[in-house]
Amino acid sequence: MQYARSSQSLVFSGEAAGAYTYFRTKTDDAHTARLEARKPLEAERLNVYIKAADAVSTIVTAKDAKEIAQAERDFLKLYRGPLVVIGDKEVNDRSALLARCIEAKAACNPSMGRLASDFNASCRLSIHEYWDAFLPKGEVTWVRTETLRN
């Protein structure tokens, strides 16, 4: 009788493990399918974020006025087009602050460097969220960048 109970327990344990494996596989498959379905949109989001970050970095670091003016036009074009469509709320909020600063043609508060860093950080977090990529929130910040520069 003892043997019968042990074998029933083993059968039940095996069935439970099989059920767990089955449902875990189905969950993983569903997650993979969601990622694959979003891949074209996310690839375009990444492309737009990189173009915008490139324009912003040029605005902040370039010395040539023509190069800065072109980068400002590039950013504003992205801001009024693809960023509105593809960006999440945080990216759109940060890009709006940058656009206001660019259009005002005056000293920005906070500085353009700070706004640029915050914008880039929001793009990074958006990528982290939508691609399920591990990009820790606090790794790159304006304060840390400025601290390293000084």
In tens digits, the chain (150 residues) has pLDDT values of 555 555 555 555 556 566 666 656 766 677 677 767 777 888 898 899 999 999 999 999 999 999 999 999 999 999 999 999 989 999 999 999 999 999 998 778 888 999 999 999 999 888 877 766 655 555 555 555 555 455
Q: Determine the Cα angle at 20 with ends 15 and 26, to 5°.
A: 125
Q: What is the pTM of this model?
A: 0.68
User: What integer pLDDT is reported at residue 63 of this predicted model?
Assistant: 94
User: What integer pLDDT is reported at residue 125 of this predicted model?
Assistant: 86
Q: Map out the domains of the chain as residue ranges.
A: 41-149
User: What integer pLDDT is reported at residue 108 of this predicted model?
Assistant: 83
